[in-house]
Amino acid sequence: MHIEYHKWYSERLGREMELKVYGHYGKPVLVFPSSGGRFHEFEDFKMIAAASEFINNGEVKFICIDSIDKDTWLNKQTSDEHIGGRHEAFHRYVTDEVVPFIWQLCGGKIAIATHGCSLGAYHAANFFFKEPGIFDAVLAFSGVYNIKKVLGRNYGTEQLYFNSPLDYLPNMNDPWYLSKYQNSKIIICVGQGAWEDEMMDDTATMKSILAAKQVDAWVDFWGHDVDHDWPWWRKQLVHFLPHIIQ
């Protein structure tokens, strides 16, 4: 398997950021780690091993990046302004630094998929819905899509509103965005087992919002034995991946 490690100083974040690339060819998939996770988490929890056949066959290329969650959504003692500002810097890091890096890897400006589990699913969905001109597919597992649940409180700034998909999507009526959503591949999955209650609620709400917008999405609820944990996310990845790399 072709693997690359990269590290550079991000001007937008004012810190060094690391990432790893897995694969020599195929659909680029940008992977966001779970809560406070690192760029190597996807490999550590055997997600790369689970998808190795797709990678080695040149069907998919995973780009796994770092998070700054501990300075934003998990930093519950700080202000909305700080969280919003730092997340906006992270947004710019992804769109202005990581995305051009991926395009360089792939030899052109091709569409990218997003993927994540738990808080990573939130990031995958939020980036997809905010930047459908860059991303044409999302694969989100066991996510919370209302940031009030992540913060444990209400928020008070417009900047945070526009990073809470269950808040801004109901009011999204822009034809360009809706057309992009309608022509993308949207897969949102959640289990019904341990530690999935809040994620089930948000996934059901997301399903209703997208249906009301006439946006086709595969929203899948797995069984009552399916917990909020990596062994199930590995199975979900293998199950759904073929549908976003076709």
Number of structural domains, the chain? 1
Nearest alpha-carbon partner for 33 in 6, 4, 69, 86: 69
Which one, of 160, 165, 114, 107, lies nearest residue 136 by Cα?
Answer: 114
Cβ atoms 55, 89 nearer than 8 A: no
Supply the pLDDT for residue 142. 98
* Residue percentage of the chain with pLDDT more than 70: 100
Q: Is residue 82 predicted with pLDDT exceeding 80?
A: yes
* Radius of gyration (C-alpha) of the chain in whole angstroms: 17
Could you tell me the CA-to-CA distances from 179 to 83, 120, 201, 207, 216 in Å, in that order?
A: 30, 25, 26, 17, 11
d(CA 52, CA 26): 13
**Which domain range does residue 208 map to?**
3-244
Other C-beta atoms closer than 10 Å to the C-beta of 153 total 11
Q: In what order do the strands lie in the sheet with 3-10?
A: 3-10, 15-22, 60-65, 27-32, 112-117, 135-141, 185-190, 218-221
pLDDT of 116 reads 98
How does residue 176 score in pLDDT terms, banded at 50, 70 and 90? very high
Q: How many CB atoms lie within 10 A of CB 219?
A: 17
The pLDDT of residue 156: 86
Residues in the chain: 246
* Model confidence band, residue 42 (pLDDT cutoffs 50, 70, 90): very high
- Residue 73's pLDDT band (boundaries 50, 70, 90)? very high
- Parallel/antiparallel/unpaired status of strands 27-32 and 60-65: parallel
Indicate if the pLDDT at residue 246 is higher than 80. Answer: no
Q: What is the CATH number of the domain that holds 48?
A: 3.40.50.1820
Q: Which of 33, 236, 44 is nearest to 244 (CA)?
A: 236
> 193: exposed, middle or buried (C-beta count within 10 Å: 0-12, 13-18, 19+)?
middle
Over range 133-162, report the average pLDDT.
94
Q: What is the pLDDT of residues 114-128, one digit of tens each?
A: 999 999 999 999 999
H-state helical runs in the chain: 41-44, 47-50, 52-56, 80-93, 99-106, 119-130, 147-151, 158-161, 165-168, 175-182, 197-212, 230-244
